Structure 1
Amino acid sequence: MFELFLPMLERLGIIVTVAFIITRFRFFRELIDQKTLDQRQRYMAIAFFGLFGIIGTYTGITYDTSSFDYGRWAYNLVESEALANSRVIGIVAAGLFGGYRIGIGAGIIAGLHRVSLGGFTGIACGISAVIAGIIAGYFHKKEEPLKLKTALFVGALAETVQMGIILLISDPYPRAWALVQEIGVPMIVANGVGSALFLLIIRNVLHEEEKVGALQAQKALKLAESTVSHLRKGLTLDSAEKACRIIYEEVQVSAISMTDKQSILAHVGQADDHHKAGEPIQTDATREVIETGKRVVVRHEEIQCQQPNCPLGAAVIVPLKKRQEVVGTLKFYVSSQKEISNVLLELIQGLSALLSQQLELADAEEAQELAREAEVKALQAQVNPHFLFNSLNVIVSLTRTEPDRARALLIALSKFFRQNLGATTKTWISLKEELKHVKSYLLIEETRFVDRLHVHYDIDEDALSARIAPLTLQPLVENSIKHGIKDQEGGAEITIRIHRDGNFVHISVADNGIGIEPMRLRTLGEQSVASERGTGFGLYNVNKRLEYMHGESAKLRITSEQGQGTTIAFTVPLQEKEIDHEG
């Protein structure tokens, strides 16, 4: 019995080596990665594991129960011969991996083959092959990873059952009993260990796939991060060309191409002399991807290139989507279909999903920007009626008592609105233009206050190229007049300062009025606050626009002491083009 151990281990080494080589093939790597097999894949798995069982039979060791000799490779057996083999390994692997149907299918193939070889144990071994598939299928757990000790146990159990069936069926019984005594223990041990080794190989392959998948996911994330600044501008000729160039430099393929639903947006790499941006889509495969939203792999002839010497031998085409709707495609070209590995397909699929998310983000950001712009326009529109209402109140109050002054005020108001008409349709305006508006406004107010109001200007001319939202200064000046100096009998002063400090412009409106109560000061500008003289909406309006258009750092800074006056200030950046324009 013990002299069989070494030959069995030698033959087992051959089986394990064959198993290792087979797992290097893409078909098997894809097969073991499938959690649910379709019918075609199931038949392929049965055939594969059945063949594996046949190899295990052929690599077995013959044992003659008459002469007690171990010998040759198994091709056919005489009546007195039996086999010590590792057929069970393939069948057990089939059942553990694929369940009952694949285990039984592989057992039938390997079992029929064993029966065809003959020998007095042929039928018993054929039946036990099917039963081994049933046993392994029982231990198949789809949602849990297989353990090495399970494979070891199932392999040993299946071989033990085979020894029992040989004793029950094979005739004559004394010959069967002698055979089991001689080969039983070595085969049980060898096939148990072999099943565990086979599972270990599969686990190693799966781990390798997961490791490669993680690396590809990392590369896809890196590429997505590199292209985000371009694709967030939308799917255009410029953004597609830059994104394709970034991907081409990182991925070892012949060319990268991107399309929208009608035409080629970019083509970077080989064949760029005749695959050009702006040309209409030519391939049926690209149209299929746009229609179905599914990945397509095409051969050279399916690329449908009009150039006979085109170096592009195959391609993978994946969809680019926004909100589940296909808006274009991403193409990876290679020189031969053999270069399209499972690893490359995973990278392409992951990159397609990430780029699609970027395009959705581009739409979301554009929508957010439009909504913000609409809110800015709405806030600006609310300023004009606010000022008009106040001015008309003044005019009405002067119409009976001082009609000439009312007439002058109407003329000034008319000039102001003519200047202001264009500003309300713009998002940005220069400080120079804004200051003109404020001066027109203050002319109206000085007319109303006669000699009680004095306005001082402290202006850096080189700061006036900075851009702000229209009607930003006027509500601040209005606030000073309405809440600060309105009730002063004389000596009311307002000072407007505009100073440049490097790439920033500091703007302030100060008055010498009554100041603001501390409780009100804490919320002023942050929300509309009711008071006897108004709602505080003007300052809230300005503050929100400054925050929207220049950021948090541009928000209003209000300092005030009761009886000492109020200063409202803010700071805006001087953009590069404004600096260049000034220079």
Structure 2
Amino acid sequence: MVELFILMIERLGLIVMLAFIATRLRFFRNMVSSYQLTTKQKYIAILFFSIFGIIGTYSGVTFHSEALELNRFVTSLSEEEAIANFRVIGIVLAGLFGGYKVGIGAGVIAGVHRMLLGGFTGIACGVATIVAGILAAAYAKRNPSASTQPKHIFFLGAIAETVQMGLILLVARPTDQAIALVQTIGVPMILANGFGCVLFLLIIKTVEKGEQHIRAVQTQKSLRIAQKTLTFLKEGLHSRSAQEVCSILFKELNVAGVAITDQRRILAHIGLASDHHKADLPIQTQITWEVIKRKEMVIANDKSIHCNKQDCPLGAAVIAPLLIRNEVMGTLKFYFHSEKEITELEKEMLAGLTSLLSSQLELAAAEKSYQLAKEAEINALQAQISPHFLFNTLNTVISLIRMDPNKARKLLHALSQFLRQNVSATTTTVLHSVEDELKHIQSYLSIEETRFEGRFHISYQIDSKCLETSIPPLTLQPIVENAIKHAFKNQDMHCQLEISIKEKEQDVVLSVTDNGIGFDSEEMNWLGQKVSPSKTGTGIGLYNINKRLQMKFGDDSGLQIHSKVGKGTSISFKIPKNIQEESLT
């Protein structure tokens, strides 16, 4: 019994080999991790585990029931011989991972093979093999987590082998030989097959955990690289951003060199052979042109990595395209001392990293397009503001030319100042000061006061500390214009207008208050939020201002409108006090 147990333990090395082979097979890894197998996976699993069972049979130790001798190898069995083997391990694992169909299928194939092999226990062992598949499948169904619990696997393998010993005693004849066989091989086989099932499972899980750990480390590294490179790739692909990204990649990755190119030249190169690839030289390797053309990652050896002007001893490289909207904007090159250093895991990680950097470049391009579109929209909104006022003023000038040329001349001068400021405001993309906005307002109001002498009373409540605060052009002036045109539409005298600019905590609050006709509740529902027809106008001026303020400073800076019919209106907004003059984008 001891000798047999030692022989069985020695042959567990075969189980180790089969387990390692199984971990290399994609279908087996998918099967182990799948909740439910497809029909194709089931057929492959039946084939795999039945072969496993047959190999377990042939690797067994023959036992001669009369001579009570053990032989190390088996090719065929006589009527007096039986075999101590590992067949049960493959069948138990089949039922455990594949369920009833796989367990029974593998059990039938391996069991029939055992019957055909002969020996006085052939039928008993063959039937026991099928029962082992059914038993394992039933246990897995009742305990879905059984495949992750080594103790359960040991007892399952041991019980399956115990059932086989019981069938040998019940079916095999002559009975005395069956009893002698079970007494000799029973305990060693029960223990060896139990340990074999556990060993197979542990090897699979260990390899799986190792791969998962490697992938987790690579994922963590990729995310760390993405976080570090994002700041620079936001600027787009150029020499400075490429140099910074290459520096980060070279420090983080186990590579000999890193280079980034655009479609025409090498933008940056750090590490191996960087002396050959200067960023200011308009050269590319021949293989790079193939990558740009095919839009696919290429593994290049030392014979294919050569420059147009000179040979460059670089060893080997992984060259991958940087894509923006499926168009190649450049390439990312990872250099190695030898092609042997480029493992499958390296290829997978570098491909994923290149895809990640491409996504960052695409986001940067999308952000730039958005900013350009927003700038164009702002300019269009600003350009819509000025025509409201121009035609009425020109008509007034025409009427004054004969009646009061002096006043007409002053009005034209004020108009020219106003138009100059207005044109400047609609063609610039930068903020200007509150003081400049006030000058614009004063030019406008001087024209209105000339046109409607004695009609308006204008008051200013200006905090001098706010005059240098930056503000988008044409924000306050159109609100004043709106009050003149609409608030005082049916009011000939006593039109009071107050312009207030004051500090409030971290903001500057700007407001225009009038004592005009006001707005009713229906108009207040859409005023400043959309363009909509009403009795007094479309509201496009206030809508444009509100939209521009929200686009620049956020929703909190939108227009705040308070109005009562017959009492007047107050329109205010706030901007950050310390904002610096910058682009509207």
Same fold, judged at TM 0.5 (above):
yes
Deviations 1:51-96 (A, max 9, x none): 99879956x54545663223x7549999898764447767997999
Q: Does 1:449 align with 2:449?
A: no
Using the TM superposition, name which of 560-569 and 330-339 deviates more.
Answer: 560-569
State which of 473, 489, 492 in structure 2 corresponds to 1:470: 473
- Residue 415 of structure 1: CA displacement? 4.1
Structure 2 counterpart of 1:535 = 538
- Residue 283 of structure 1: CA displacement? 4.6
- Residue 10 of structure 1: CA displacement? 1.9
Distance change >3 Å, CA 229–CA 357, structure 1 → 2? same
Aligned length: 553
Q: Distance in 1 between matches of 2:454 and 2:474?
A: 26
Paired AA for residue 375 in structure 1: E
Q: Distance in 1 between matches of 2:11 and 2:84?
A: 11
Alignment of 1:413-492 (within 5 A): 413-431=415-433, 432-456=435-459, 463-485=466-488, 490=493, 492=495
Structure 2: give runs of 5+ residues left out of the alignment.
32-36, 38-42
- Residue 478 of structure 1: CA displacement? 0.9
Q: Distance in 2 between matches of 1:162 and 1:288?
A: 66
Specify the SS of the correspondent of 2:284: coil
Q: Distance in 2 between matches of 1:521 and 1:241?
A: 55
- Residue 382 of structure 1: CA displacement? 0.9
Alignment of 1:261-340 (within 5 A): 261-278=263-280, 279-284=282-287, 286-304=288-306, 310=314, 313-340=315-342
- Residue 162 of structure 1: CA displacement? 13
Structure 1 counterpart of 2:232 = 230
Paired AA for residue 482 in structure 2: N
Alignment of 1:116-515 (within 5 A): 147=147, 183=185, 187=189, 190-191=192-193, 193-278=195-280, 279-284=282-287, 286-304=288-306, 310=314, 313-392=315-394, 394-395=396-397, 405=407, 408-431=410-433, 432-456=435-459, 463-485=466-488, 490=493, 492-498=495-501, 506=508, 508-511=510-513, 513-514=515-516
- Residue 535 of structure 1: CA displacement? 3.0
Deviations 1:313-335 (A, max 9, x none): 43333333233444333333333
Distance change >3 Å, CA 195–CA 301, structure 1 → 2? farther
Structure 1 counterpart of 2:24 = 28
Structure 2 counterpart of 1:570 = 574
Distance change >3 Å, CA 563–CA 191, structure 1 → 2? closer
- Residue 507 of structure 1: CA displacement? 5.6
- Residue 204 of structure 1: CA displacement? 3.1
Alignment of 1:36-75 (within 5 A): 60-61=60-61, 63-64=63-64, 67-70=67-70, 73-74=72-73
Distance change >3 Å, CA 30–CA 317, structure 1 → 2? farther
Contact kept, 8 Å, 2:518 with 2:568, in 1: the verdict is: no
Q: Distance in 2 between matches of 1:17 and 1:474?
A: 84
Specify the SS of the correspondent of 1:424: helix
Structure 1 counterpart of 2:13 = 14
Distance change >3 Å, CA 84–CA 376, structure 1 → 2? same
Distance change >3 Å, CA 267–CA 73, structure 1 → 2? farther
Contact kept, 8 Å, 2:441 with 2:477, in 1: the verdict is: yes
Using the TM superposition, name which of 182-191 and 435-444 deviates more.
Answer: 182-191
Specify the SS of the correspondent of 1:265: strand
Specify the SS of the correspondent of 1:383: coil
Deviations 1:101-126 (A, max 9, x none): xx99xx99xx9xxx9xxx997xx99x
Using the TM superposition, name which of 342-351 and 363-372 deviates more.
Answer: 342-351
- Residue 573 of structure 1: CA displacement? 4.6
- Residue 523 of structure 1: CA displacement? 4.9
What's the TM-score once normalised by structure 2's chain length? Answer: 0.71
Cα RMSD, aligned residues only? 5.5
Paired AA for residue 318 in structure 1: A
Q: Distance in 1 between matches of 2:305 and 2:146?
A: 43
Q: Distance in 1 between matches of 2:350 and 2:54?
A: 37
Specify the SS of the correspondent of 1:258: strand
- Residue 471 of structure 1: CA displacement? 2.0
Distance change >3 Å, CA 410–CA 250, structure 1 → 2? same
Deviations 1:7-28 (A, max 9, x none): 25422443345557x47x9x93
Deviations 1:151-170 (A, max 9, x none): 997999899999999xx9xx
Q: Distance in 1 between matches of 2:553 and 2:373?
A: 16
Q: Distance in 1 between matches of 2:526 and 2:360?
A: 39
Structure 1 counterpart of 2:40 = none
Distance change >3 Å, CA 90–CA 446, structure 1 → 2? same
Contact kept, 8 Å, 2:549 with 2:557, in 1: the verdict is: yes
Contact kept, 8 Å, 1:255 with 1:268, in 2: the verdict is: yes
Identity of aligned residues (%): 39
Specify the SS of the correspondent of 1:571: strand
Deviations 1:158-189 (A, max 9, x none): 99999999xx9xxx999999878865785577
- Residue 350 of structure 1: CA displacement? 2.9
Using the TM superposition, name which of 418-427 and 76-85 deviates more.
Answer: 76-85
Paired AA for residue 69 in structure 1: E
Using the TM superposition, name which of 539-548 and 191-200 deviates more.
Answer: 191-200
Contact kept, 8 Å, 1:494 with 1:509, in 2: the verdict is: no
What's the TM-score once normalised by structure 1's chain length? Answer: 0.71
Contact kept, 8 Å, 1:152 with 1:193, in 2: the verdict is: no
Specify the SS of the correspondent of 1:527: coil
Paired AA for residue 352 in structure 2: G
Q: Distance in 2 between matches of 1:67 and 1:201?
A: 38
Paired AA for residue 550 in structure 1: F
Structure 1: give runs of 5+ residues left out of the alignment.
37-41, 579-583
Paired AA for residue 255 in structure 1: G
Deviations 1:404-454 (A, max 9, x none): 655653453344324433332222242244343333222211211224435
Contact kept, 8 Å, 1:240 with 1:258, in 2: the verdict is: yes
Structure 1 counterpart of 2:552 = 549
Contact kept, 8 Å, 1:516 with 1:566, in 2: the verdict is: no
Q: Distance in 2 between matches of 1:449 and 1:424?
A: 27
Specify the SS of the correspondent of 2:516: coil
Structure 2 counterpart of 1:39 = none
- Residue 476 of structure 1: CA displacement? 1.7
Paired AA for residue 229 in structure 2: T
Contact kept, 8 Å, 1:216 with 1:343, in 2: the verdict is: no
Paired AA for residue 28 in structure 1: R
Contact kept, 8 Å, 2:528 with 2:543, in 1: the verdict is: yes
